């Protein structure tokens, strides 16, 4: 037995010895070989300059400020006189620098195997450095390198579109070699969506160095590939005008061409993206998060709202798709309906009713009962299925990150979400864009383009990406010719005929506009309420959201204008004036003249009333 134990110990001993011998003589050889090579050759990455972002007139929305970074030679002892002298020199030159932070950064990155200078100051502005450069450059142990810092000249006006850059984390560094070297990455908006393009590609330089790390010969030089720019469809002057026009209201406004090119997308209020470039303070971050108007939320793709009556055009077409011939019959509106033996009244917005109502009148006067009755014939599943094909409750595909879907509910959705059955009354309220219905403003703008042209466009913010033009993406959807024309006539009536819900604010514009208003309730109205309070009499957060979504010119649709005022009450009176001012601005700036000229040259077929 003892003999066996001795044999086992013997084999364990030699196994450990062989393993150690392998590690020292073979495996570690590669490591020390690389270290030795670093003592002879030094490879330094050349950082690319981040691409710029401009609007469709060449105005800079994201640019790079020129400045310098400061680095300190490696291998200095933490409490050495030399390191202390260098740090004090930097403090004397730039009093705003933090000595504790610089020492902490140096200590973290200093190691016997690191032969690279350690960056302790990320950015000093060009103007601040110029006076100090001659003297500072002579200090041994300090390295001054050209650096850039992201800057957004239009600040809050385009923050939700352009986004911002910030310091990268370890996970981001590990997934991208450029980010690892640069230390910055696009965190939101287009800066995030197109980060791979904007960041460019690393270059590098290999030099022969002495034992003291002094370069004596350049062996190889590969320049960085940079200045990969974005040109947007956005008109920043239009964007700025709309932002200022909101005043004390909060909400969203979108201006989009019918081919999907987004000219403006305002989420109001907004924030200054420059706060994030160097790292936002805890105080500013807390203020953003606690603001009840949600300035940090990109409301046109992250905000989801009940569409209210703006859904009615698509709802009518969903009925017809599901049950052909449904729209051929009128409905009688007495002001409400009831279901079966229930005394619960599903009320029309007009307590007096609309009488006999056909499709065009139902759109013009926004009769709720018309849609209630049709929904009971079709059912929620077919309604939801068709509305999704019209772009509601699904992502638009816009070139911005983390777009929300919204909800076009059906029986399966409710069962999955709440583990509850679907009730007939929920079908009724869904038919007028209430209940569980939720859409983003960009979805509604896209869907409005479909109503105008029978083409569902994919919205695009970017016009050119690194010199390559972004091509429009359009999907044709077939509709019954008579019904779609009746809907367009109804939308014309909304803005141009007395009795239309947008007539008061949308008539007498320099172009003929067609559209639809909507009021989406945020609180239920009790059945016991005989006389409804006016919106302005309600507490602010109990007021309905106010929609208007439009297109123009009516006979040749080219532009979509969609406006939402949060807790604004009625779409026609609250959102309508903003939409009207947008059309006036577009006309004054020659947008419609350009389209008229293009139409005459191409012979575009028009939409007759």
pLDDT of residue 571: 60
DSSP 535: G
Q: Are 51 and 226 in contact (CB under 8 A)?
A: yes
pLDDT grade for 525, boundaries at 50, 70 and 90 = very low
**What homologous superfamily is domain 37-71+149-231+269-299 in, according to CATH?**
Penicillin-binding protein 2a (Domain 2) (3.90.1310.10)
DSSP 406-417: -B---HHHHHHH
Residue with the bigger pLDDT between 224 and 254: it is 254
> HSE-up of 425 (CA within 13 Å, CB side)?
12
Report cis status (omega within 30 of 0) of the bond before 553. yes
Among 362, 321, 313, 332, smallest CA distance to 547 is for 313
Report cis status (omega within 30 of 0) of the bond before 269. yes
Q: Are 154 and 61 in contact (CB under 8 A)?
A: yes
Q: Are 182 and 148 in contact (CB under 8 A)?
A: no
Residue with the bigger pLDDT between 23 and 271: it is 271
Residues 530, 531, 534, 538, CA torsion sign: negative
DSSP 316: H
- In angstroms, rounded to a whole number, what is the distance separating the alpha carbons of residues 233 and 239? 11
- In angstroms, rounded to a whole number, what is the distance separating the alpha carbons of residues 602 and 522? 46
Q: Are 99 and 91 in contact (CB under 8 A)?
A: yes
> Mean of the pLDDT values across residues 23-41?
58
- In angstroms, rounded to a whole number, what is the distance separating the alpha carbons of residues 493 and 514? 7
Phi, psi of 89 (to 5 degrees): -60, -45
pLDDT of residue 37: 53
> Mean of the pLDDT values across residues 290-303?
94
Q: Are 30 and 41 in contact (CB under 8 A)?
A: no
Q: 415-444 pLDDT, tens per residue?
A: 999 999 999 999 999 999 999 999 999 999
User: Do the domains at 37-71+149-231+269-299 and 236-268+300-602 have one common CATH topology?
Assistant: no
CATH of 236-268+300-602 given 1.10.472.10, 3.90.1150.10, 3.40.710.10, 3.90.25.10: 3.40.710.10
Coil, helix or strand for 99? helix
- In angstroms, rounded to a whole number, what is the distance separating the alpha carbons of residues 158 and 232? 11
pLDDT grade for 358, boundaries at 50, 70 and 90 = very high
pLDDT of residue 530: 45
Of 50-54, 134-138, 263-267, where does mean pLDDT reach its minimum? Answer: 134-138
> Mean of the pLDDT values across residues 515-522?
85
> Residue 208: in which H helix or E strand, if any?
strand 203-209
> Mean of the pLDDT values across residues 550-568?
95
- In angstroms, rounded to a whole number, what is the distance separating the alpha carbons of residues 275 and 18? 58
- In angstroms, rounded to a whole number, what is the distance separating the alpha carbons of residues 263 and 247? 21
Among 603, 539, 546, 553, smallest CA distance to 251 is for 546
- In angstroms, rounded to a whole number, what is the distance separating the alpha carbons of residues 126 and 133? 10
Q: Find all residues with CB under 8 Å of 590, minimum gap 6, and list them.
A: none
Q: 394-421 pLDDT, tens per residue?
A: 999 999 999 999 999 999 999 999 999 9
Residue with the bigger pLDDT between 507 and 543: it is 507
Q: How many residues does the chain have?
A: 609
Phi, psi of 135 (to 5 degrees): -75, -40
- What's the farthest any 2 CA atoms get from each other in the chain? 110
> Mean of the pLDDT values across residues 285-310?
94
> Mean of the pLDDT values across residues 238-248?
96
Q: Find all residues with CB under 8 Å of 233, minimum gap 6, and list them.
A: 56, 257, 261, 262, 263, 460, 461, 462, 463
> Mean of the pLDDT values across residues 150-154?
96
Pairing outcome for strands 60-72 and 142-151: antiparallel
pLDDT of residue 524: 46
Average pLDDT, the chain: 89
Of 413-427, 524-538, 545-559, where does mean pLDDT reach its minimum? Answer: 524-538
- In angstroms, rounded to a whole number, what is the distance separating the alpha carbons of residues 257 and 594? 13
Buried b (16+ CB within 10 A) or exposed e, 238-254: bbbbbbebbeebbbbbb
- For the chain, the domains span 37-71+149-231+269-299, 236-268+300-602
> Mean of the pLDDT values across residues 293-321?
96
Q: What does pTM read for this prediction?
A: 0.85
- In angstroms, rounded to a whole number, what is the distance separating the alpha carbons of residues 31 and 33? 5
pLDDT grade for 354, boundaries at 50, 70 and 90 = very high
Residue with the bigger pLDDT between 304 and 1: it is 304
> HSE-up of 560 (CA within 13 Å, CB side)?
29
Q: 567-590 pLDDT, tens per residue?
A: 876 767 899 999 999 999 999 999
pLDDT of residue 29: 59
pLDDT above 60 for 224: yes
Among 90, 93, 114, 112, smallest CA distance to 102 is for 90
pLDDT of residue 455: 98
pLDDT above 60 for 527: no
Coil, helix or strand for 501? coil
Among 375, 376, 431, 377, smallest CA distance to 408 is for 431
């Amino acid at each position: 037995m003892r003999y066996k134990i001795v044999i086992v110990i013997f084999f364990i001993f030699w196994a450990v010895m062989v393993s150690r011998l392998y590690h020292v003589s073979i495996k570690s050889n590669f490591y020390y070989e690389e270290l030795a090579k670093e003592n002879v050759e030094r490879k330094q990455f050349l950082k690319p300059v981040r691409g710029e972002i401009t609007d469709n007139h060449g105005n800079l929305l994201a640019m790079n400020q020129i400045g310098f970074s400061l680095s300190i030679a490696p291998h200095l002892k933490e409490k050495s006189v030399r390191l202390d002298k260098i740090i004090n020199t930097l403090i004397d030159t730039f009093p705003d620098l933090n000595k504790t932070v610089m020492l902490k950064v140096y200590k973290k990155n200093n190691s016997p195997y690191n032969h690279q200078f350690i960056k302790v100051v990320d950015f000093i502005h060009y103007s601040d450095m110029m006076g100090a450069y001659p003297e500072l450059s002579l200090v041994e142990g300090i390295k001054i390198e050209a650096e850039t810092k992201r800057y957004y000249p239009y600040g809050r006006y385009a923050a939700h579109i352009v986004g911002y850059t910030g310091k990268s984390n370890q996970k981001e560094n590990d997934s991208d070699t450029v980010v690892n070297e640069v230390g910055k990455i696009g965190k939101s908006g287009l800066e995030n969506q197109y980060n791979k393009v904007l960041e460019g590609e690393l270059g590098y330089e290999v030099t022969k160095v002495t034992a003291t790390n002094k370069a004596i010969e350049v062996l190889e030089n590969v320049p960085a590939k940079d200045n990969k720019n974005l040109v947007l469809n956005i008109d920043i002057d239009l964007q700025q005008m709309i932002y200022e026009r909101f005043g004390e209201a909060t909400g969203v406004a979108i201006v989009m061409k019918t081919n999907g090119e987004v000219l403006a997308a305002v989420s109001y209020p907004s924030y200054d993206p420059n706060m994030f470039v160097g790292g936002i303070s805890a105080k500013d971050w807390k203020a953003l998060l606690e603001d009840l108007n949600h300035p940090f939320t990109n409301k046109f793709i992250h905000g989801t709202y009940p569409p209210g009556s703006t859904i009615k055009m698509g709802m009518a077409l969903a009925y017809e798709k599901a049950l052909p011939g449904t729209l051929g019959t009128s409905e009688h509106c007495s002001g409400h309906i009831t279901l079966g033996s229930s005394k619960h009244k599903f009320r029309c917005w007009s307590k007096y009713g609309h009488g006999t109502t056909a499709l065009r009148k139902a759109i013009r006067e926004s009769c709720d009962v018309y849609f209630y009755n049709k929904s009971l014939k079709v059912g929620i599943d077919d309604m939801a299925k068709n509305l999704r094909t019209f772009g509601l409750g699904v992502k638009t595909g816009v070139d911005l990150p983390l777009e929300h879907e919204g909800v076009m509910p059906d029986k399966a959705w409710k069962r999955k979400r709440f583990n509850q059955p679907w009730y007939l009354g929920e079908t009724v309220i869904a038919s007028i864009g209430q209940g569980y219905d939720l859409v983003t403003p960009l979805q509604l703008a896209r869907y409005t383009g479909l109503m105008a042209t029978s083409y569902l466009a994919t919205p695009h913010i970017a016009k050119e990406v690194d010199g390559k033009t972004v091509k429009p993406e359009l999907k044709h959807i077939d509709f019954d010719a008579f019904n779609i024309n009746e809907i367009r006539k109804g939308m014309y009536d909304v803005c141009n005929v007395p009795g239309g819900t947008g007539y008061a604010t949308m008539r007498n514009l320099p172009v003929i506009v067609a559209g639809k208003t909507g009021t989406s309730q945020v609180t239920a109205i009790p059945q016991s309420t005989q006389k409804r309070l006016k919106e302005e009499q309600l507490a602010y957060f109990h007021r309905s959201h106010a929609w208007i979504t439009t297109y123009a010119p009516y006979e040749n649709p080219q532009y979509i204008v969609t406006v939402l005022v949060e807790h604004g009450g009625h779409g026609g009176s609250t959102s309508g004036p903003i939409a009207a001012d947008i059309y006036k601005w577009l006309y004054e700036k020659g947008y419609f003249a350009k389209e008229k000229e293009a139409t005459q040259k191409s012979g575009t077929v028009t939409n007759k009333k």
